[in-house]
Amino acid sequence: MARTGDGIRGWTWGGAAGLVILGAGLAGCSAQSPAILAPVSPKGRAEAELFWFILAITAFVFVVVEALLLYAVIRFRARDPRAIPPQIHGNRALEVSWTTVTALGLAVIFAMTWRTMAATSTPPAGAIPVKVIGHQWWWEFQYPTLGITTANELVIPVGRPIRLTVTAADVIHSFWVPQLGGKMDAIPGRENLLWLQADVEGIYYGQCAELCGVSHANMRLRVRVVSDSEFQRWVEAQRAPAVQPGTPLAQQGYQVFMSKACVGCHTIDGTPAQGKVGPNLTHVGSRTTIAAGLLENTPENLARWLDNPPAIKPGSLMPRLGLTPEEIQALVAYLSSLK
């Protein structure tokens, strides 16, 4: 049997290693990892500050408890293995003090959490409303006041608050863009409120944060934060009806789209395609990614996706349609032209 000292040492090292791994995970190891501790929004900063505050308190508790434990293990270790140690039943002073100190610590954490929640829960006046709908396995974004419906890439102007109404079409999902702060469950039949605001232009990665089926991990999203003028241009472009196919190949792709199952699930404004099950494709060519952020939006990737969606996103509700290579090339030409 291992001696108690070995167990304690192993536990201490395990705890330290766990903290390091946790820290690395939270800081974000790659450019695409959502990073909680690199906030770019007022709300994200408030949450990160709260996190550091609570981490400091709990780290302090960890060190004190470990130190007392090691002291007790070494100072009171059995010197004669055959002797029975003195039998002790309770110590009122110790019990009262560690209960009081723990309760006080928790009260401080509670108060700080309350303060942060109160300061960040209500969206500022004048926020742009966006409806967020989680689907297996992609995100729908509707801008009701702007008349725009898009998917997987939320485009917002820098420095402006956005008021998100979060819901779901099928099962429970969770909308989460760590650098912009906050996480909100997307529940069918319910509308949850979340707001965010980005102070710096750029792309911020998000991820569905509630296990929602086989491709939960593939349910990514991006928030593209742009200048006010770029946002206005984007809005104008998104509000326009879909462009007409401009080349013979794109024209052929249009015919394929309208004659196949595509129309049952997808909408392309200004065409007979009015399906509401899958992402709106009216301006799919203007998005930087396809398949809920899994692939860069390039002709090669689009062709791969059209050929066999479940091979890229397991469980994908878009089935393998058995398209011929010619049909795929035509569809790629058409869909890519939908800027």
Residues that bind ligand CUA (CB under 6 A): 134, 137, 173, 208, 210-212, 216, 219
Nearest distance from C-beta of residue 135 to ligand CUA, angstroms:
8
Nearest distance from C-beta of residue 210 to ligand CUA, angstroms:
5
Nearest distance from C-beta of residue 166 to ligand CUA, angstroms:
12
For residues 193 and 211, which CB has a smaller minimum distance to ligand CUA in the complex? 211
CA distance 72 to 60: 18
Nearest distance from C-beta of residue 137 to ligand CUA, angstroms:
6
112 touches 50 (CB < 8 A): yes
- Residue 234: partners with Cβ closer than 8 Å, 6 or more residues away: 155, 226, 286
For residues 138 and 305, which CB has a smaller minimum distance to ligand CUA in the complex? 138
Nearest distance from C-beta of residue 251 to ligand CUA, angstroms:
36
Nearest distance from C-beta of residue 194 to ligand CUA, angstroms:
15
Where is 174: in which H helix or E strand? strand 173-176
CA distance 115 to 128: 25
Sign of the Cα torsion 54, 221, 140, 136 reads negative
Nearest distance from C-beta of residue 175 to ligand CUA, angstroms:
9
CA nearest to 291, candidates 241, 217, 209: 217
Alpha helices in the chain (DSSP H): 4-27, 42-75, 92-120, 228-239, 248-259, 262-265, 299-307, 309-312, 325-337
For residues 219 and 306, which CB has a smaller minimum distance to ligand CUA in the complex? 219
For residues 137 and 305, which CB has a smaller minimum distance to ligand CUA in the complex? 137
Nearest distance from C-beta of residue 298 to ligand CUA, angstroms:
25
- Residue 223: partners with Cβ closer than 8 Å, 6 or more residues away: 153, 154, 155, 156, 177, 180, 196, 198, 203, 204, 206
CA distance 205 to 104: 37
For residues 173 and 183, which CB has a smaller minimum distance to ligand CUA in the complex? 173
Q: Is the peptide bond before 137 cis (omega within 30 degrees of 0)?
A: yes
Query: DSSP characters for 237-273?
Result: HHHSPPPPP-SHHHHHHHHHHHHSTHHHH-B-TTSS-
Tokens of 297: 């939006």
Nearest distance from C-beta of residue 70 to ligand CUA, angstroms:
42
For residues 161 and 293, which CB has a smaller minimum distance to ligand CUA in the complex? 293
Type of residue at 166: V
Long-range contacts of 12-21 (CB under 8 A, 24+ apart): 12/66, 12/70, 15/62, 15/66, 19/59
For residues 137 and 204, which CB has a smaller minimum distance to ligand CUA in the complex? 137
For residues 147 and 315, which CB has a smaller minimum distance to ligand CUA in the complex? 315
For residues 208 and 302, which CB has a smaller minimum distance to ligand CUA in the complex? 208
